[in-house]
Amino acid sequence: MTDLRTDLPFADYQYPTKPVDGPRLAIVGEAPGAEEARQGTPFVGRSGKLLDESLAAVGIERAECLVANVFRYQPPGNKVGHFFSSRARARKEGREIDESWGAFGTSDRLLAEFAGEIEHLRATLADYRPSVIVALGRTPTWALTGENGILQLRGKVLPCRLLEGVEVVPTFHPSYLLRGQLVEQPTFLADLRLAVSRLTR
């Protein structure tokens, strides 16, 4: 069986560069894009600039946060569906599915060869021990909570299935705002403020 990770561009997590006194915040996105893979760092380019500006607007420095993606590999065409498959397609292609993570959307499941990415995220979060995680988009919301439907879930406080006692605040991915949805930026900022408020409760 071919390993779908072969030759995929890679970008690791960005760990805090400033010490944090008190509760910690983690920010988790989907997967690196081309610029992230080129620089080896998550959230650079336009999405990163918008994220940094938005964090600053709610009183958070990126350097104080763990910034990660669910998948450290850039999928072809930046399509996160590369990491998932329906059962029927997986059988047809001779792929294995990891059923333990549940459905992504209505019918897709995580391809087994990428399950290690979520386990790596779990281990990193266990080491970092954030109090609150901001989930940027559909994929991290699913990975962190097991829930689907970012439009319905954004702005809520959900339990993290990867780490007991940690809260997850889903919101939009910055790239979604940049694809003609800047009208949602006040909502995005409100979600970030909610996450910050949970740090101090």
Question: 92-125, pLDDT tens digit by residue?
Answer: 999 999 999 999 999 999 999 999 999 999 999 9
**What does R_g of the chain's alpha carbons equal in angstroms?**
16
**pLDDT at residue 1 tops 50:** no
User: What's the domain count of the chain?
Assistant: 1
- The answer on pLDDT for 2 being more than 70 is no
Please give the average per-residue pLDDT across 20-39, as a whole number.
91
- Rounded Cα distance between 148 and 87, Å, is 18
- Is residue 88 situated within a structural domain? no
Q: Which of 15-29, 122-136, 184-198 has the lowest mean pLDDT?
A: 15-29
pLDDT of amino acid 6: 56
Residue 4 has pLDDT above 70, yes or no: no
- 95-112: buried (b, 16+ CB within 10 Å) or exposed (e) per residue? bebbeebeebeeebbbbb
The Cβ-side half-sphere exposure at 67, using a 13 Å CA radius, reads 23
Give residue 60's identity as a one-letter amino acid code.
Answer: I
- For residue 197, pLDDT over 90 is answered with yes
Domain range for 187 is 25-81+118-199
Closest CA to 156 of 194, 201, 196: 194
Note whether residue 95 is domain-resident.
Answer: no
Collapsing DSSP to helix, strand or coil, 136 comes out as: strand
**Separation between Cα atoms, residue 55 and residue 91, nearest integer Å:** 43
Torsion region of 187: left, alpha or beta (phi above 0 gives left; psi -120 to 50 gives alpha): alpha
Please report, for residues 7, 90, 145, 155, 192, the alpha-carbon distance to residue 163 in angstroms, rounded to integers and kept in the order given: 31, 29, 10, 20, 20
* Residues sharing a CB contact under 8 Å with residue 48, sequence separation 6 or more, in sequence order: 36, 42, 174
pTM, two decimal places: 0.93
Which residue in 200, 195, 184, 186 sits closest to 158, CA to CA? 195
Residue 31 lies in a domain: yes
Cα–Cα distance between 161 and 165 in angstroms, integer? 9
Q: What is the CATH number of the domain that holds 185?
A: 3.40.470.10
